[in-house]
């Protein structure tokens, strides 16, 4: 005997099953709220940044976690923010495109580059977070 996976189901068998389900369940009423959900596409500004600005509501919290830890990984974000792997990895990708964390280096955690390089606005100026970091790091002389 041979073991087969992915058994073939002919078109006529599929049609019989569909007809049976239609007869057994009667008329189906669909909710417009479910069937007409908007499709959100990623923003492409032509600059290689495929993520819309502020796409994920957890970005500020993720930045804080990474700054405190001094390193970045999807598993760290998963544990600290109580999120799944896909979302944690997407957040890291967004932060990499913003220059907040370095690129992937094998299985090692990503280097956290910090707010000074990541918080630049579109006009080249720094945000309040980056300015506060720069002021804190600046040595004031009398």
- What is the secondary structure of the chain as a DSSP string? ----SS----HHHHHHHHHHHHHHH------HHHHTPPPPPPP--SSS--SPTT-STTHHHHHHHHHHHSEE-HHHHHHHHT--HHHHHHHHHHHHHTTSB---BTTBPEEB--HHHH-B-TTS-B-HHHHHHHHHHSPP--
pLDDT recorded at residue 136: 45
pLDDT recorded at residue 131: 47
Q: Do 98 and 56 meet the contact criterion of CB atoms below 8 Å apart? A: no
pLDDT recorded at residue 88: 92
Q: Do 98 and 109 meet the contact criterion of CB atoms below 8 Å apart? A: no
Could you say which architecture CATH assigns to the domain 59-137? Answer: Orthogonal Bundle (1.10)
- pTM for the full model? 0.46
CA quadruple 112, 95, 104, 67: dihedral, nearest 10:
20
R_g of the chain, CA atoms, integer Å: 25
Per-residue confidence in pLDDT tens, the chain, 142 aa:
787 788 788 999 999 999 999 899 888 887 887 777 776 665 555 444 445 555 788 899 999 999 999 999 999 999 999 999 999 999 999 999 889 999 888 888 999 987 654 444 444 444 444 444 444 444 555 5
pLDDT recorded at residue 116: 54
């Amino acid at each position: 005997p041979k073991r087969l996976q992915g058994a073939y189901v002919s078109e006529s068998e599929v049609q019989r099953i569909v007809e049976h389900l239609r007869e057994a369940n009667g008329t189906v009423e669909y909710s417009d709220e479910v069937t007409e959900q908007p499709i959100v596409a990623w923003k492409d500004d032509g600059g290689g940044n495929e993520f819309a600005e502020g796409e994920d509501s957890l970005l500020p919290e993720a930045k804080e976690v990474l700054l405190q830890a001094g390193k970045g990984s999807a598993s760290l974000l998963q544990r600290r923010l109580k999120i799944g792997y896909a979302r944690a990895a997407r957040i890291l990708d967004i932060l990499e495109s913003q220059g907040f964390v370095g690129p992937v280096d094998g299985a090692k955690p990503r280097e956290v580059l910090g707010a000074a390089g990541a918080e630049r606005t579109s006009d080249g100026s720094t945000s309040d977070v980056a300015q506060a970091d720069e002021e804190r790091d600046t040595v004031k002389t009398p």
